[in-house]
Structure 1
Amino acid sequence: MSLQGSTVMVRAANGGTVQLPLARLSEADQTFVKEQGTGATAKPAAGKAGEKEAGKDEVRQRLIGTWDGYMADSDGSRHGDIRLVITEDKITASNPQGNREMGAGTYKISGKKIDATGTEGQFAGKKYEGIFDLDSNTLKWCSANDNPNSSRPTKLQTNPQAGQFLMVLEKK
């Protein structure tokens, strides 16, 4: 499935493509299609394992894109700007003010958990265990620093004593 302007392109079971006006879909279906964005594909799943895998794929597709936001202090106030560019298998972090790339890495999703491993730049070789909440075009991602004394957060908030930081991001 993909959205092109106000037309939804749906792949039929026979492999063909059907075009539907977005306005003809239910409100819930319109919201779903819009959240998927343009060019996103939805893959059919089979059985419980397939449903779980399809859920991961759906979340991963929703994460793909450019996200601008900030690092939050423990009181929720803005600490510093950050941009994440997320692809199917990579995250690149940069400072959007100076347009300076900070590093890149891979990521894995499991339910509401997200784990990143740095592969380039200042994050190379570091592992970050985190949790996230993805609501429409807002991503809140809280992660533990790469430190043996840090553990995966249980709340979406910065906790300097526990070595945990929150990013609040909007999809561009």
Structure 2
Amino acid sequence: MQIEAPFELVLFGGMGDLALRKLIPALFLLHRDGRLPEGMIYATTRQEMARDDFTTRIESSVRAQVAADYMDQQLLETFIERVECFTLDVNNLEAYSLLANTLSADDVNRLFYMATGSDLYSSICKGLNEAGLIRERSKIVLEKPIGHNLETAQAINEDVAEFFAEHQIYR
């Protein structure tokens, strides 16, 4: 998937295991190689986190997962400047309005990455829709497994399809 600027990434579950072990380090490597478009990354968390604590966790994550010969301190610092922490209770619809106020008002290339349990996908999509955040250029990445069995997977996919067109969904 080629993403052109302007670009925003909203990473739900931004301080979870998947994000810290895989996604954040991979995004850093894209940034380091000049392949991450200009724009911001918003890592959502359930609990409020001080900026210093947040940046320490991001830096620790990258250092733990990226080989030392691939590290560049200056590039790590510029990457961390692009990552913001956003406290969000995914079940609180009002919280999505706050997210909408934080994100660009323009119809930018916006990617919603679901690094959460699939049981939250439906409520997150509903919140994004209620806040007017799903637009033509929006995309959503659903991390697998989706559901616990065929029935729950189909239900989740149907719920997501209420808000996103098939060409906007990446599984």
Q: Which has the higher contact order (CA 8 A, sep 6+)?
A: 2
Higher strand share: 1
Higher helix share: 2
- Do Structure 1 and Structure 2 share a fold, with TM-score over 0.5? no
Normalized against structure 2, the TM-score is what?
A: 0.22
Structure with greater Cα Rg: 1
Normalized against structure 1, the TM-score is what?
A: 0.22
